[in-house]
A and B are shown apart, each in its own frame.
Chain A
Amino acid sequence: MRRAVDQDRPSISFFINGQRFTGKLGDTVLTAVLTQAGHLRTSEFEHQPRAGFCLMGACQDCWVVTEAGPAVRACSTLLEDGMAFVIEGLPGT
């Protein structure tokens, strides 16, 4: 995922595996993570990295676990300041 246009928006911070990252107001969780990391989750059976697919809430392949416990569907959840995610296979786990 590469930022292309309309990126002049306020920064907000979030965490992946305890490390601080910066996203932008209006980013979805998917955008914020995938512009800086390779994947969102690991598949259950083949243990392969997955990074969403449909971006419209249809494929359900972008659920990201939060530190608090509940998972969020990354493509349809707006990033909020201080959100903290746990993503297997990224630095920090």
Chain B
Amino acid sequence: MKNFDTDVAVVGAGLIGSATALALRQRGVAVVMLERDLGGSRASGVNFGGVRRQGRSPAQLHLAARAHPIWADLKAKIGIDGEYVRSGHIKLARSQADLTALAAYAARVADFDLGLEILEGRAFRERYPCFGPEIIGGSFCPGDGQANPRLVAAAYAQAARQAGCEVIERCPVTGITREGDGFLLRCGDAVAVRARRLVNAAGAWGAGIAAALGDDIPMRFDYPTILVTEPLPPIVSVNIGIEGGGFYGRQVERGNLVMGGGFGVASGDGASRPDSGALARIGGRAAAILPATRHARVIRIWAGIEGYTADKNPFIGESANVPGLFHAFGFSGGGFQIAPAVGEVLCELICEGRSSTPVEAFRPDRFQQQSAEPGRTP
């Protein structure tokens, strides 16, 4: 049995856990991070790689705005640029109603400086000859982009380690108990960690960790599905989404088209797989949206595991019931872009008890206390 005694224990070495650990280490806080598999091998490493603000709720845009400059300077933070490119993000419209919805969104988030541009008609076709006839326009966000999650997630975990965080991989937390004001975490008989504060960054498994400490937080699992084609000649550089959802895609520099849409299924024991219709569904949509891909071949398909909340916003903040326990999970398919900011915010919450970025909307107990008193802004 290996024993550790530390200020903060982090469960989960995905992007959220790693970004938090890294920020804490940069303030000199002692951190031990426990990861069941390999750091960054779950949602953080297998996601679509969309680094996008457009489409997020105003509540999340504060976090997104804070993350935005970190992406541009990722190399300074984690040692690699993670293939991040500011390619822009376009949300496509198939109908006038879609365009109206996109314009309404642009108006709603006007304060956030996203630079959204609604395109339609000839201007749209001329700028984007790649899109099929069913697509009639879209909303373009020039500052959004894309990155390679495989590289970014692994590098974040590695950066936390290099900053002095004890990262213990292949180490599932099997038991958590309160010990005085702190916590005792056990990974079978192999590792025991005593910590004054605990960060629950267990991703889709976050609600389970919360429940182990008596926090009942509603969350459901889902399994977003991704397809990758063989390398293709350049077709499109902008990161693509579509109003109403159902498809997202991007062509990486090497030529592969990475795309997703819809959800797979659980396949037992923390694993997931695409549903039977995934290829026909996503491939069919891709070919309709980007006709130049219609003869392409798909070489990889997978489904990741993600935790979803009722309002699609994550849980971020200290537990109302268990002081010293900080939750950060339930990112509902959108945690990649904001993760660098979430790490900094958690660090602030832990070290200072408040964050310079508003995160009130993400209170972990928001579904228990629908009538939460409005005075508790951070």
Contacts and interface: CB of A to CB of B under 8 A. Distances in A.
Contact of B297 (A45, A69, A71): A71
Interface in B273-311: 294-295, 297
A41 to B, nearest CB: 11
A70 B295 CA distance: 5
B333 to A, nearest CB: 31
With a 10 A CB-CB cut-off, give which of A44, A45, A63 has the most chain B CB atoms.
A44
Interface in B229-265: 231, 254-255
Contacts of B254: 44-45
Contacts of A44: 231, 254-255
Contacts of B297: 63, 71
A70 B254 CA distance: 20
Interface in A45-93: 45, 63, 69-71
A63 B295 CA distance: 12
A69 B294 contact: yes
B282 to A, nearest CB: 19
Interface residues of A, number: 6
Interface class of chain B by DSSP:
loop
Contact of A71 (B231, B255, B295): B295
Which of B231, B255, B295 is most buried by chain A, counting CB atoms within 10 A of its CB? Answer: B295
Contacts of A63: 297
Contacts of A70: 295
A45 B254 CA distance: 8
B166 to A, nearest CB: 39
A61 B323 CA distance: 59
Contacts of A69: 294-295
A45 B255 CA distance: 10
A45 B232 CA distance: 11
A63 B294 CA distance: 16
A69 B295 CA distance: 6
B252 to A, nearest CB: 12
B271 to A, nearest CB: 26
Nearest to A45: B254
Interface string A16-58: 0000000000000000000000000000110000000000000
A63 B229 CA distance: 14
Given A69-B294, A69-B295, 8 more contacts: A44-B231, A44-B254, A44-B255, A45-B231, A63-B297, A70-B295, A71-B295, A71-B297
11 contacts: A44-B231, A44-B254, A44-B255, A45-B231, A45-B254, A63-B297, A69-B294, A69-B295, A70-B295, A71-B295, A71-B297
